[in-house]
């Protein structure tokens, strides 16, 4: 795509645009997984402020406009940033481990909370190249990157595997109760979807 595209530190000024991108790219129907990709959660401005305060987030810019983002934090900070009452997200993710997985998640691992590119720019910007750049820039301070992908979201799963992510475990969850999911479950064929926990060794 012709034009100046780059990654820059996410700041509070970006929050409004991140909210806008999130709302436009939220998946609201189970049939949308493979057609559009998209995301499953929209964060509040207060949550976004807590996330970017960790300085593990980068915004995707095109001609100085925010068109996407990578939101991250240290794994050990998940409960402080995204935790809900009586739900220990760190424990849920750690306990999802497959029997044949030989790695352990550490508090200092990079947790990629969410990554998204504005739908209008998909296919025009090399998103996975930017994803690798994000991991190179932020991941150099961490041994591993951890993220989660809903199992039916093949548009996200396949590219992640291409850049080296492997399956750590499976977290079967009820979308109505799991705090990280804000989907309109009435539009889904099955409210219980598998959440794949993925990891990539960085150093």
Residues 40-59 have pLDDT tens digits of 677 889 999 999 999 999 99
Q: Is residue 31's pLDDT more than 50?
A: yes
pLDDT tier, 203 (very low <50, low <70, confident <90, very high otherwise): confident
In percent, how much of the chain has pLDDT > 70? 79
Q: Output the pLDDT for position 71.
A: 96
In percent, how much of the chain has pLDDT > 90? 48
What would the pLDDT profile of 91-127 be if each residue is shown by its tens digit? 889 999 999 999 999 999 999 999 988 888 877 888 8
Q: Output the pLDDT for position 49.
A: 95
CATH superfamily of 5-201: Gcn5-related N-acetyltransferase (GNAT) (3.40.630.30)
Torsion of CA 13, 79, 90, 201, to 10 degrees: 30
| Residues listed for the chain | 203
| Averaged pLDDT, 173-198 | 57
Q: Output the pLDDT for position 107.
A: 97
Q: Output the pLDDT for position 26.
A: 74
pTM: 0.87
Query: Which helix (H) or strand (E) is 136 found in, with range?
Result: helix 127-138
Strand pairing report for 110-117 and 144-150: parallel
Rounded to 5 degrees, what are φ and ψ at 197? -90, 125
Q: Output the pLDDT for position 68.
A: 93
Q: Which of 7-21, 65-79, 111-125 has the lowest mean pLDDT?
A: 111-125
Domain boundaries, the chain: 5-201
């Amino acid at each position: 795509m012709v034009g100046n595209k780059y990654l820059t530190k996410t700041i509070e000024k970006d929050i409004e645009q991140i909210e806008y991108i999130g709302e436009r790219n939220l998946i609201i129907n189970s049939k949308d997984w493979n057609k559009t990709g998209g995301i499953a959660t929209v964060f509040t401005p207060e949550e976004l402020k807590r996330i970017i305060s960790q300085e593990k987030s980068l915004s995707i810019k095109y001609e100085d406009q925010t068109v996407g983002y990578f939101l991250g934090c240290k794994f050990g900070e998940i409960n402080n940033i995204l935790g809900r009452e009586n739900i220990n997200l760190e424990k849920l993710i750690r306990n999802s481990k497959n029997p044949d997985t030989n790695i352990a998640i550490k508090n200092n691992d990079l947790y990629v909370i969410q990554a998204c590119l504005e739908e209008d720019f998909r296919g025009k910007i090399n998103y996975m190249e930017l994803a690798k750049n994000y991991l190179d820039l932020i991941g150099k301070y961490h041994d591993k990157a951890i993220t989660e992908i809903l199992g039916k979201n093949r548009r996200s799963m396949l590219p992640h595997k291409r850049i080296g992510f492997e399956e750590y475990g499976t977290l079967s969850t009820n979308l109505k109760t799991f705090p990280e999911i804000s989907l309109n479950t009435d539009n889904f064929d099955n409210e219980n979807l598998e959440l794949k926990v993925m990891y990539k060794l960085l150093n």
